[in-house]
Structure 1
Amino acid sequence: MGDAMTAARPMQIGELAERTGLSIRTLRHYDEIGLLRPSARTDGGFRLYTADDESRLLLIRRMKPLGYSLEQMGELLAVVDGLDTDPADATLAARLDGIRDEAQRRREDLRRKLAAAEEFVAQLEAR
């Protein structure tokens, strides 16, 4: 993904989009709704993102195939942020457990759908 020097310097929106496979439009939207705010801005107003921002964005991106809404993604990020601040918060830990259980259910549903899609494609290929 790049050397330590690349990871340490802030990225503009285009580089972050390229590194994560998401569009600039999506990143701008995430900023507008507060899901992923850039860590800084240049004097000219350009968004600047850090390696931590990239990690957060990759977490968001990994939620997308499981069908999470933007609101649900924001809720998860709030729980993660809260636990980063106070790892002993039992309420947040319980919420994270619930989110983890739901993610596992969604993953299993996705696996069932993928298996059905593979069967369908195999039937088409057999014709």
Structure 2
Amino acid sequence: MKIGEVAARTELSLRTIRQYEDSGLVVPSAASEGGFPLYTDADVARLMVIRRMKPLGFTIEETAELLTAVDRLAADTPDTPGELDPDTRAALVARVRGYEHAATERVGELRAQLARVEEFANSLRARLP
């Protein structure tokens, strides 16, 4: 896919996608004959992870750390036994679990914030004639 299609699918701007490329969070899987980046479904999925982390307040560095851990775990398959020693694998799993826990906490905080905002909007609505 060209970057325009990726932008439409992910609802990210071209500029944002390029910033993520520049920071190393996503690397286009291929290039066209003219040298333009081309993206796969896996690249789009990676951008969606990044997109979902941003409103939860994760930094670029945290996003990179999570993606690195997920990539390393995904590379350690039965086809590549011994890629990760048990301690490294356990540390990576713990890191991903830590991010899952942090995301769950942040979702809870956002739900509470949304409830307060809805209460405020309802109070304003109640004051209107």
TM-score calculated relative to the size of structure 1: 0.87
Cα deviation for residue 90 of structure 1 reads 1.0
2:24 to 34, 40, 64: 34
Is the aligned partner of 1:14 residue 2:4?
Answer: yes
Shift of 1:93: 0.7
Instruction: State the Cα deviation string for residues 25-81 of structure 1 (Å, max 9, x = none).
Output: 000110011011111111222110000001111111111221111111111101110
**Is the aligned partner of 1:104 residue 2:104?**
yes
2:81 corresponds to: none
In the alignment, does 2:67 pair up with 1:77? yes
State the partner residue of 2:83. Answer: none
Query: Structure 2 counterpart of 1:104, which letter?
Result: T
For 1:95, the equivalent position in structure 2 comes to 95
Structure with greater Cα Rg: 2
Unaligned runs of 5+ in 2: 78-85
Give the number of aligned pairs. Answer: 117
Amino acid at match of 2:92: L
Structure 2 equivalent of residue 123 of structure 1: 123
- What is the CA deviation profile of residues 59-109 of structure 1, one whole-angstrom value per residue up to 9, with x for unaligned ones? 111112211111111111011101101266111011111111111111111
- What percentage of residue pairs aligned between the two structures are identical? 51
Runs of 4+ in structure 1 deviating by more than 2 angstroms, as ranges, are none
Write the letter of the residue equivalent to 2:44.
E
Letter matched to residue 75 of structure 1: E
Q: Distance in 1 between matches of 2:120 and 2:68?
A: 39
Structure 1, unaligned stretches of length 5 or more?
Answer: 1-10
